[in-house]
Amino acid sequence: MSPGERLRVLLWLASLSSAAADYQVRRVYQITPTEGGTNGAVKVTIFGRGFAQANQFNYGPGNENLGNSVLMVSNTRTVPCEVEKQESYSTQIMCYTRSMPEDNYVVKVSVDGEPIPDINTIWFYSRGFRTPVIQSVTPVTGLPGLDFRGHFTICDEFSWPGESSR
């Protein structure tokens, strides 16, 4: 083998080693919460390492795949989780779920268009009983001071049936 060929082989091996090291760095460890309602707007925090930090903003032609993206994948559908870029870092991604039917979803994270390998499967469970429901508001009219009754948790977004989140 000539010195030029040997150099090409060494450079090729070095590039494979570098790509493998980068591939091993990216991991998803856990999410919180692991379950939420079916109407969407559940704030999900994904913990791991190797997430995009510098390339989060993907504006302009040719930049569509830059940054972090999150998908919730069940046996029958794939639902994007809207990444909150201002709250995402190299070790954490925050996203908001969309409305999705009750099901078990595998959380799939991609960085700059490259999927992070599934070392351990991370699940999100969309459940109807986790969806906030207001059963009554009293008084219907009158001075300030309302009493809400129903099944709900503290949330910062809401929607009426048939509308998107506000």
> Using DSSP, how many helices (H) and how many strands (E) does the chain show?
1, 11
Domain ranges of the chain: 3-151
Q: Mean pLDDT over all residues of the chain?
A: 80
Beta strands in 19-122 (DSSP E): 27-32, 35-36, 43-49, 68-73, 78-83, 92-96, 103-111, 114-115
CATH of segment(s) 3-151: 2.60.40.10
Global pTM reads 0.69
**By the 8 A CB rule, do 104 and 35 touch?**
no
Q: What is the pLDDT of residues 97-153, one digit of tens each?
A: 999 999 999 999 999 889 998 888 999 999 988 888 878 877 777 777 777 676 665
- Distance (Å, rounded) from C-alpha 39 to C-alpha 102? 10
pLDDT at 86: 86
CA 4 from centre of chain: 46
